[in-house]
Structure 1
C-alpha cells in the first residue's frame, strides 16, 4: 500500500487501523475516536474508516485506541508479522458504561483489581467453532485453521481454545477466508488436537483505575445461563454466575 505525494516522493502505509464497534459490528467513523502509535505522527484518516500510519520505522508499534463511549484498547503490533502489502488491523472496541445500550441488554458489572483483565465464557450457549486440523506449535506457528461455516468475520476477535486447559486466541487477520486460515498475534503455548477441542468467543474487558468493570453480553439465547467469569491480575480468580438474560447482573471479584 503506497501513496504518491509528488513525482519524487512516495509514502508507505505501514499500518491501517479499522475500528469496529464490538457490539454492533459496524465500522466507527466518529470524530471522537482517537487512534495513535507511540512516537509516530498522526494517522491519515480515510473516509472508509481507516486510520493510516505512514512510514513507521519500528517493527513493534504501540497502538492505542480511545473513545468516551468505549473501553480503551492498547495493542503492541508486530508490523512485520502483519505483512507489508496490505497491513490492515481491525480493532474491536468494547462498550463502556457511557454506551447507549438498548433497553433489555444483558450485562455484567462489578469490582476487580484495577487494571486486571476480566473474561466471561458462556460455553453452553454460545456458538462453538472447532479446529479444521490439528494445531502444531512448531516453528512459532501463528497460522490456525478454524472451521467457520458461516464465514463470520473473526478479524480482531478474541476466542478461547479449550482442551485440557484454556488459552486465548487473538485473531489478527484472515489469510484465506475460503480455507478458513487465520493469523494469530502470537503462537499458542501448546499443540491442540482437532478432536476434543472447543473454540468459543470470549467477552473481555479491563477494570478501570477504580477497580470497576462493565461488560455487555449478547447472543446468549432467551433463558438464564451459567457462565465462567475470570479475573486475571496479580492473581487469577475464577467464579461462576448464572446470568439473568435481559438484566444488569453484578459480580465482584474483590471486596
Structure 2
C-alpha cells in the first residue's frame, strides 16, 4: 500500500514528520506517539491526520526521534536544506513491537531473544524470508536486469509493491541471490527503484520472495508479521543476529496463526 500523498503547508512550516504503521502501511493518526528533535527543544503541533509539524527551525541537520509504547523507537537524520520546502514531509516507518494489538487472524512469529550470556538481547536483528516459491511477490520481467543497476522491472506482481518492501531475488545458485529494498515506484509502469546497485545479473522469471525485517525490543522480545500469505502453509527461513553471531531456523508457518519459538539464544 502506498501512503505518500500531496499536502499543502504554510510557508512557516520547516518540517513535517509523518509516522507510518509498518504493518498497515498507513499513516498513524492516533495512539501514544511522541516525536521530538534532539537538537531543538520546541514541540511539534500534532495534526488529526497523523502529521507532526515543526515551525521556525534554523537550517541544519536534525535527529528526528519517534517513541511509542506499541512500536519500536526510531531515529531518522534529516537535513533541512535537502528537503523540498514546498512539501517538507519526512515519512518514518514504525515497526510494531511485542505489545502491538494485531488483529485476530494475523500470521505472526514471536520469540524471546537472548545474547550469549543468556541476557535479553534488545536490538537483535531478525530477518524472516518466505521460501515457498508459490508465495513469491513478483518475478523479474522480460529482459532481465543487469548488474549494477538501481532499477528492476517486475511482472506477476502479487498485490501492490510499496516503498520499503523487502525481497530476496532468489536464484537457483544461492551465491547469486541477493536482497533488495524498494525505494521508489514508477507510476504507470512495472519499474521499481532499489536501494544500492544490484550485485548480480538476474534473468527473466527469477522469483522475488517476501522478506520481513525487524528487531527485538528492550526486553529482547520480537514479533515478525506476515501479510497476505498466498498459501495456508508456507516455509520460512529466520535469521537471528546479535553481537556478530547468527542463528538460523527453518520452519513451516500456518496462515492466521501465531508461531511462538520460545527463548532463542544467539
Any idea what SS the aligned residue of 2:19 has? Answer: strand
Residues 31, 98 of structure 1: alpha-carbon distance in 2 compared, 3 angstrom cutoff: closer
Any idea what SS the aligned residue of 1:91 has? Answer: strand
- Mapped contact 1:167–1:188 kept (Cα < 8 A): no
- Mapped contact 2:136–2:158 kept (Cα < 8 A): no
Residues 202, 53 of structure 1: alpha-carbon distance in 2 compared, 3 angstrom cutoff: farther
Q: What residue is the counterpart of 1:28 in the other structure?
A: 28
Residues 17, 154 of structure 1: alpha-carbon distance in 2 compared, 3 angstrom cutoff: farther
Check if 1:128 corresponds to 2:137. yes
Q: What residue is the counterpart of 1:157 in the other structure?
A: 165
Structure 2 gap ranges (5+): 1-6, 116-120
Check if 1:240 corresponds to 2:264. no
Output aligned runs, 1:81-160, within 5 Å.
86-112=87-113, 113=115, 114=121, 115-124=123-132, 125-131=134-140, 134-137=145-148, 143-147=150-154, 152=160, 154-160=162-168
How many residue pairs are counted as aligned between the two chains?
241
In 2, Cα distance between equivalents of 1:177 and 1:75: 27
- Mapped contact 1:73–1:93 kept (Cα < 8 A): yes
Residues 2, 222 of structure 1: alpha-carbon distance in 2 compared, 3 angstrom cutoff: closer
- Mapped contact 1:37–1:62 kept (Cα < 8 A): yes
Q: What residue is the counterpart of 1:254 in the other structure?
A: 265
Structure 1 gap ranges (5+): 5-9
In 2, Cα distance between equivalents of 1:78 and 1:123: 39
What is the TM-score with the length of structure 2 in the denominator?
A: 0.71
What is the TM-score with the length of structure 1 in the denominator?
A: 0.74
In 2, Cα distance between equivalents of 1:83 and 1:129: 33
